[in-house]
Amino acid sequence: MADDIEARLARELPGYARRVVSALEAEGFEAWVVGGWVRDALLGRPGHDVDVTTSAPWRETARVLRSAGIEVHETGTAHGTVTAVVDGRPVETTTYRVEGAYSDRRHPDEVRFVTDVREDLARRDFTVNAMAFHPERGLLDPFGGQGDLARRVIRAVGEPRRRFEEDALRVLRAVRFACRLDASIEPATQRGLLECAHELGQIASERIGQEVDGILATGRAAWALRHEFAVMASAIPELAPMEGFDQRSPYHAHDVLEHTARVCAGVEEFTGGMASQALRWAALLHDVAKPECWSEDVSGRGHFFGHPGAGARTAKRVMGRLAIPGEVARAACALVSLHDFEIRATAPSMRRMLSELERLAPGQARELAFALLDLKRSDAVAKAPACMGYAVELDQMTRVLRAELAAGAVWRVRDLAVGGADVIRDRGIEPGPGVGMVLAQLLAVVMAGELPNDRDAELAWLRW
């Protein structure tokens, strides 16, 4: 069975990676394919980014590869790394190494180059990432990564706490790999992870953002919130107050955290696992401001007045700190801001929704309209049972939205059949802000369904 697997990996190893390995070994050095390609190939998943590790010092690596006609970039020579480019494909190639202490919890204080690939594999984070493959020598797996992969277990290489203290970002990487591989985290690794989660505070925010974004991209944010909330809250402290926060509302059967987890699961269900990046962030953060907006009336019932707007402001701050792309952040904040926006299954209501989305995320309204309906569906089914019927009403709203868009829905001034020149001519006003005010008034009339988006009709309105 092992021979069959290794034969399959040898067949699937991309030619550009094989060329790098062959060039190095032709000069008497040892070379192996390592990292994510090995892990994913064992799972039968396609992979294109291939890393190579070698006994050759980086200068020798560069010399050998260039002699073989391979383009080389000296991308990380302090750590023994060069990048070979074969047929337009980069192959990161690194000398076997071990690392010293990590005083800054990110970079090793020193790097020592070694001659045994097993020593190199021993410095890696998790067993599923500590395997090497050679098309002739087969799989090298000194830490049982293949077995852990088959059992879907994330296990640290060596002593877990040491691995996490070397680079605290590995705490989040463990959660991301568990989500991506639908795996559990081995108990000793889990203990080390929890002991070191607070050290995420020493990690650059943009690196945290990349890992959290990767967790959301797996579609399993609900699992992360339920099983690894301490880690998620260490990465995004604004999440912490959601845990155990009783909403004291007839509309809610769960605390804010469990409700949020259910919304995260819901957006995956309603989109068939294809939720956009913005929708996933919005699901995570849509109720983040509820604890700060909570109030209680004389009957003891809880209220969260203003939490969508406050949540959008918090989401903007969080996503800015984590260096999430601006367009994604704007879209997510728009969804958070409008997740309680009242809509009905009518064309004017759909136009108002599109207009609000356009105001908050210019140019993204069409796509975000469907995302907002999916967020609302997910929110509905994550509440008390009596509220779940609203998800069915949203199906009718989706049909109305599709019909309205197909009919040429108007929600922006530029969608009108007339423009600024018409206003200047027919209203007799000078160019300036007044033109925009007239067009905004006309847009409101058209959006309300009181006037068709027809040039003659709109000209008549202007002349009235």
- pLDDT tens per residue, range 55-107: 999 999 999 999 999 999 999 999 999 999 999 999 999 999 987 555 555 56
> Is 0.85 topped by the overall pTM?
yes
SS3 244: coil
Interval 219-275: pLDDT, tens: 999 999 999 999 999 999 999 999 998 888 888 889 999 999 999 999 999 999 999
pLDDT at residue 103, as a whole number = 59
CATH architecture of 152-235: Orthogonal Bundle (1.10)
Distance CA(191)–CA(110), nearest Å, equals 27
Domains of the chain by residue range: 2-151, 152-235, 256-406, 413-463
pLDDT at 134 over 70: yes
Task: Choose among 252, 21, 37: nearest CA to 129.
Answer: 37
pLDDT at 366 over 90: yes
- Measure Cα distances from 156 to 34, 37, 332, 403 in Å: 17, 19, 34, 53
Contacts of 450 (CB under 8 A, 6+ apart): none
pLDDT at residue 296, as a whole number = 85
pLDDT at 308 over 60: yes
Tell me which fold the domain 413-463 belongs to.
Answer: Serum Albumin; Chain A, Domain 1 (1.10.246)
**Checking DSSP bridges between strand 97-99 and strand 111-113, what pairing results, if any?**
antiparallel
Class of 2-151 per CATH? alpha beta
Asked if 174 contacts 143 with a C-beta cutoff of 8 angstroms, the reply is no
pLDDT at residue 298, as a whole number = 86
Q: Which of 142-151, 217-226, 283-292, 432-441 has the lowest mean pLDDT?
A: 432-441
